A and B are shown apart, each in its own frame.
Chain A
Amino acid sequence: MSAPFYKYGLFNDEVSLIVAVFIGLGFGFFLERAGFGNGRKLAAQFYFTDMTVLKVMFTAIVTAMVGVYYLSIFGFLDLSLVYVTPTNLVPQITGGLILGIGFVIGGYCPGTACVSASTGRYDGWAYVAGLFAGILFFGEVFHLFEKFYTSTAMGKVTLPQLFHLPYGLMVFLVCIMALGAFAAAEWGEKKMAAKKED
């Protein structure tokens, strides 16, 4: 085991910030390459005209998931040291629904809004301003629903644990699912394009 490098003390906290900028740089670069600095392209996902969001997201998830799987079974990456957010099922589902609604209204998610703003889109800047306002609002009324926020705490639960499946099989199933989603997305896009021509 030699990774995660940071957890094995290869560099200090200060240097980790420099690493952060470079990782963010790659993140922002590929987001923009995919067209995620454009709110219309992102929102098109919800009107079935352009399924780029789904394609990019699932490709990214599958790539990273398969990479993590192989690196961990080869003994290079210590998976127990990789941070996994604990699950609070109900608040997370609620948050997801709110976030989805906000996505269609605002046109971005926090990460893509940064890319949109840095490529000069004014709606991206308005969105970022909204983010600050929303967080401030959340912070100020936090005490009202702190109980809800911490409800249904399940600790760290992963899908293989939940379904009692081997890790490798779960990875395989997600890959199959992603391939199915890609096929459906391509088919849907063609269908929508044909409908437009009519």
Chain B
Amino acid sequence: MNELTTTRHNELIDPIVHVWGWEIPVYLFLGGLVAGMMIIAGYFFIKGRDEGHECVCYQVPLIGLFLLSLGMLALFLDLEHKAYVWRVYTTFKIKSPMSWGSWILLLVYPALLVNFLLNVPAWIGDRLAFLKIWSQKILAIKNIKRHVGKVNLVLGIMLGIYTGILLSSLGARPLWNSAILGVLFLVSGLSTASALVHMIARDRAESEMLARADNLFLTIELFVFALFFIALLSSTEVQIQSAMLLLTGPFAAVFWVFVILMGILIPLFIQNLSVSHRIKHTPVAPIMVIVGGFVLRLVLVQAGQYSHYLNAHFLK
């Protein structure tokens, strides 16, 4: 017999929502990271930096495919009904960000594959000879690299913004319900991607250029954070309370220390000194940026689930 209850009888949503654990933040983080990597690779192709085989834009697709698959795996683990995952692709709902995301991801994979085929690394090409043949066929297309670059750029931006929109479309969570979230996640994805690509780049000039780009993205990220909070704080009490969750509330220590200080300010400071050749360069700063980017997703997902219209008084 089913017990008759009206509301508030779900252990996952009472007293606060905690439906989403680590899986969604992992997916959002990796999705943003791959989006940033695609934008960087796309930019390099469009700018014609792809001469020779040293350009990092040839290493991006394989790592991107791997990271994105990891993210998709996390997403899949989060699904309640795993056997029905294919149903996402039997429909397209224009108003559903989930639907958009699924289809964007479906386009990202072939785009990364084509990008990968532009320059198949020898250790794979020697084992799978057919990839080399495909590669030659693709390279025969006129201006293919510029086209791949443009596709990468567009899909990267869409993927990056979508990871934020996924959260901000959930109107019931005042912390997430902000249009700036898409931009924030895009910029954060770009900064983590610059940090990662900077570490794997073989070409010294390229690596340094990416460190500089990372500094720029981190600075922009600070401004976007400021906008995000200004928007929330100048809204209604519910939004103010949800912003306070991060600013002074139960998530403040993690947010300020691990996201702002360790994820942005300190790496920005250290990287600024190292790109101006004042101190030796080490991978510590980029690693801090990458970890900070992940904690940002984690804390936003957790705090967002905590924020609520009905118990907006929880801080007082």
Do A and B have CB atoms closer than 8 angstroms in the complex?
yes
Docked-complex contact A14 and B257, CB < 8 angstroms: no
CB distance from A18 to the nearest CB of B (A): 5
Check if A142 is an interface residue, CB within 8 A of chain B: no
By beta carbon, the residue of chain B nearest A16 is B253
Interface contacts (Cβ under 8 Å), in number, total 20
A21–B257 alpha-carbon span in the complex (Å): 7
- Docked-complex contact A15 and B261, CB < 8 angstroms: no
Binding site secondary structure of chain B: helix
In the complex, whether B228 has a CB less than 8 A from a CB of chain A is no
A21: chain B residues at CB < 8 Å are 256-257, 261
Closest CB in chain B relative to A115 CB, distance in Å: 15
Q: Is A80 an interface residue (CB 8 A)?
A: no
Q: How close is A117's CB to chain B, nearest CB, in angstroms?
A: 13
Interface residue count on the B side (C-beta < 8 Å): 8
Decide if A12 is an interface residue (CB 8 Å cutoff).
yes
> Which B residues touch A64, using CB under 8 A?
none
* Residue on A nearest B262 in the bound complex, by CB: A21
Q: Which residues of A contact B48 (CB under 8 A)?
A: none
Nearest A-chain residue to B315, judged by Cβ: A12
B248 at the interface (CB under 8 A from A): yes
- In the complex, residue of chain B having the shortest beta-carbon distance to the beta carbon of A12: B248
Chain B residues within an 8 Å CB radius of A18: 252-253, 256-257
Q: Which residues of chain A come closer than 8 Å to B252, judged between CB atoms?
A: 14-15, 17-18
**In chain A between 73 and 98, which residues have their CB closer than 8 angstroms to a CB of chain B?**
none
> Assuming A12-B248, A17-B253, what are 16 further A-B pairs, CB within 8 angstroms?
A11-B248, A14-B248, A14-B249, A14-B250, A14-B252, A14-B253, A15-B248, A15-B252, A15-B253, A17-B252, A17-B257, A18-B256, A18-B257, A21-B256, A21-B257, A21-B261
Q: Which B residues lie at the A interface, using CB under 8 A?
A: 248-250, 252-253, 256-257, 261
User: What are 16 residue pairs bridging A and B, where the CB atoms are less than 8 Å apart in the complex?
Assistant: A11-B248, A12-B248, A14-B248, A14-B252, A15-B248, A15-B252, A15-B253, A17-B252, A17-B253, A18-B252, A18-B253, A18-B256, A18-B257, A21-B256, A21-B257, A21-B261
